Amino acid sequence: MKQKKIRITFILPSLAAGGAERILSFIAQELNKDDFEPTLLITGYEKETVYQLKELNIIYLNKSRVLKSVFSLAKYFKKNKPDIVVSSIVHLNTLTAFISIAFPKIKFVAREANVLTTLNKHNPYTKSFFPKFMVKIAYRLVDCIICQSKDMQKDMIDNYQVDKSKAVLINNPITKLYPLKPEKNIKKNVFKFITVARLSKEKGHDRILEALSKLDFDFKYTIIGNGPEKEAVFNKIKSYQLENAIEYISFTNEVHTYLSENDLFLQGSYVEGFPNVLLESCVVGTPILAFDAPGGLDEIIEQKKNGLVAKNIEEYVMYLKALHSDFIFNPNTVSQIVKDRFESHYIVSQYENLFKRLVA
């Protein structure tokens, strides 16, 4: 007798550009269709979609805000009776957790996207519209919380009182393998840096720019991203007189091309969930220089092999100058480290095993 497929509904606010959107939709698409029957439920608008997904049932609620989807979500659960519901991003996780009270037969999984405690310290505007005590209650209601990094898992256990048995660590996968770039001699070219990140306070563009202002050699710095801090970032660029060294791109579908063309990825974040773009950068062979921060850096970066982690601006500047004199990274080594750890089939199988345990 053929085993019944596990029906899973993945819920996201949108399929606009973003790490949570890309990873969860990728997982939904990659599940073994012999064992699972996945559906992607989007509370937002179809017109915002940037990720093209194949052979996946996608439903759009076309609501302007997550809160406005409460009754539509409850109606969907009642009608379709999925075995498992998986949501991502804290406000959606909180909402579905409270809805779960009415559906005790469904297993509810929350995939957290950030180290919330640290994120809220550095950027209060990113706080959920649910107060912390409600998030704590919500995360006790769900059957499982998927944490992308050890730092996130620790934050959930220590600061949100999530039971250790419910906080499951699964790193993000490499969603696409791009060609490896060739080696080049840095000394014969202008040193080229790149950052791909939302222009928001927690991403730390301010301290990258401060570090660059202290360099005594020519460089080119490409910034890709948009966000609420755009004006502040450009004011910093002007105050440090770096205008001639900066290339700004608000959005592109060719991120991997820009990553390949640059020598070093500059990570300024004060906190991350699990920075997918660092995996992308390493895949093409471009190493990382990051500030020490919670959110998976120690799981991605192997010091002096695919990147460097600095404790402060002084050390960041020291590393930049040292790499200008002696670029120690080999593209193949940089790439292979992340391929070995975050290969997609390996990560997807962890999700599949978790889902099977939940309904066993």
Confidence band of 127 (pLDDT split at 50, 70, 90): low
User: Can you tell me the distance from the alpha carbon of 92 to that of 268, in angstroms, rounded to the nearest whole number?
Assistant: 27
- Taken in order of first residue, the domains within the chain and their CATH numbers are 6-173+343-359 (3.40.50.2000), 186-341 (3.40.50.2000)
Q: Which residues have CB under 8 Å from 276's CB, separation 6+?
A: 19, 22, 23, 172, 175
Q: What is the SS3 assignment for 305?
A: coil
Confidence band of 128 (pLDDT split at 50, 70, 90): low
Residue 40 in contact with residue 56, Cβ under 8 Å?
A: yes
- For the segment 168-216, what is each residue's pLDDT rounded down to a tens digit? 999 999 999 999 999 877 666 799 999 999 999 999 999 999 999 999 9
What one-letter code names the amino acid at 78?
Answer: K
Q: For position 70, what pLDDT does the model report?
A: 96
Confidence band of 2 (pLDDT split at 50, 70, 90): low
Q: What is the SS3 assignment for 249?
A: strand
- 10 Å Cβ neighbour count for 328? 11
The single-letter DSSP state of residue 303 is: B
Cα angle 60, 63, 68 (rounded to 5 degrees) comes to: 130
Give the whole-number percent of the chain exceeding pLDDT 70: 96
Q: What is the SS3 assignment for 341?
A: helix
Average pLDDT, the chain: 94
Question: Could you tell me which residue, 194 or 33, shows the higher pLDDT?
Answer: 194
Residue 147 in contact with residue 351, Cβ under 8 Å?
A: no
Q: For position 125, what pLDDT does the model report?
A: 55
Q: Which residue has the tokens 């997904």?
A: 53
Name which of 149, 140, 153, 142 is nearest 172 in CA terms: 149
Q: For position 71, what pLDDT does the model report?
A: 97
The single-letter DSSP state of residue 319 is: H
Q: Which residue has the tokens 């490499």?
A: 174
Q: For position 306, what pLDDT does the model report?
A: 98
pLDDT of 99 higher than 70: yes
Residue 93 in contact with residue 112, Cβ under 8 Å?
A: yes
Q: Which residue has the tokens 């009608």?
A: 79
User: Can you tell me the distance from the alpha carbon of 266 to that of 257, in angstroms, rounded to the nearest whole number?
Assistant: 16
Give the Å distances, CA to CA, from 262 to 255, 283, 287: 11, 13, 10
Average pLDDT over residues 323-340: 96
